[in-house]
Structure 1
Amino acid sequence: MSSKRELGRLGENLAADYLERRGMRVVDSNWRCPQGEIDLVAFDAEILVVVEVKTRRSLRYGHPFESITDAKMHRLRALAVLWARHHGFYSSPLRIDAVAVLSAGREEPVIEHLRGVFR
């Protein structure tokens, strides 16, 4: 795994697979607009879920969740509303989740999922 971008893409793919195995339906990834980017968009039953994915090779610089700031959460909330409006989901309940992926390359990745990290 040579680049940060490749590591991030791997983490997002692993996170999407993980969420789908747990019954969520991933409907979009890497959605971009002028205000920013959403890593994953999924539905958990009728709940629209915007997912921030953080991937690291090790814990040397802290746990992946530690890099999710309050400002990022506020931006994700605004992006979630924009995504919903753009795709015609005006009245869907909304949740923001975070997924941490630790992937050292040689071992099985460790994936953690936090539901409802910001309301």
Structure 2
Amino acid sequence: MALHNDIGRWGEDVAVSYLQQQGYVILHRDWSYRHRDLDIVAIDKGTLVIIEVKTRRDERYANADEAVTPQKVRSLSIAANAYVKQYGISLDIRFDIITIVGQPTDIHEVRQVKDAFLPFI
């Protein structure tokens, strides 16, 4: 596996651990719909939360959460819609971004942006 894939997987592991410490119930990781995926799907106090995880070794060039482009928001919206339909979800839905800055050998920073964007299709 390429180094960036290893860092991304590590970042998702960190995000899941962080969310569980905050009381979230993790439903799925890397849930796929066609060529789209949802990094983490969780429940937080009765709300379905779709979490996009962005991991960077550093933020020298840009903040990690700026990597969620309008195209990515559209893709997440389509996948979330499919998820809700497939599982018959009737909860409120929120879209969050979690950024992980660092790498497994370094101290890292975890930031969560709740209600980071509104979905659109």
Shared fold per TM-score greater than 0.5: yes
The match for 2:34 is 34
The match for 2:114 is 115
Instruction: Tell whether the 8 Å contact from 1:77 to 1:96 is kept in structure 2 after alignment.
Output: no
The residue correspondences of 1:85-96 to structure 2 (distance < 5 A) are: 85-89=85-89, 91-96=90-95
State the aligned residue count: 118
The residue correspondences of 1:1-119 to structure 2 (distance < 5 A) are: 3-89=3-89, 91-119=90-118
Q: Distance in 2 between matches of 1:47 and 1:116?
A: 11
Moved over 6 A (4+): none
Give the partner amino acid of 2:12: E
Give the partner amino acid of 1:48: L
Mind listing any 5+ residue stretches in structure 2 that lack a counterpart? Answer: none
Instruction: Tell whether the 8 Å contact from 2:100 to 2:110 is kept in structure 1 after alignment.
Output: yes
Offset of residue 35 of structure 1: 4.2
Instruction: Tell whether the 8 Å contact from 2:10 to 2:104 is kept in structure 1 after alignment.
Output: no
Q: Distance in 2 between matches of 1:57 and 1:24?
A: 25
The percentage of counterpart residues that share the same residue type is: 28
Offset of residue 105 of structure 1: 3.7
Instruction: Tell whether the 8 Å contact from 1:35 to 1:79 is kept in structure 2 after alignment.
Output: no
Offset of residue 32 of structure 1: 1.0
Q: Distance in 1 between matches of 2:111 and 2:59?
A: 14
Mind listing any 5+ residue stretches in structure 1 that lack a counterpart? Answer: none
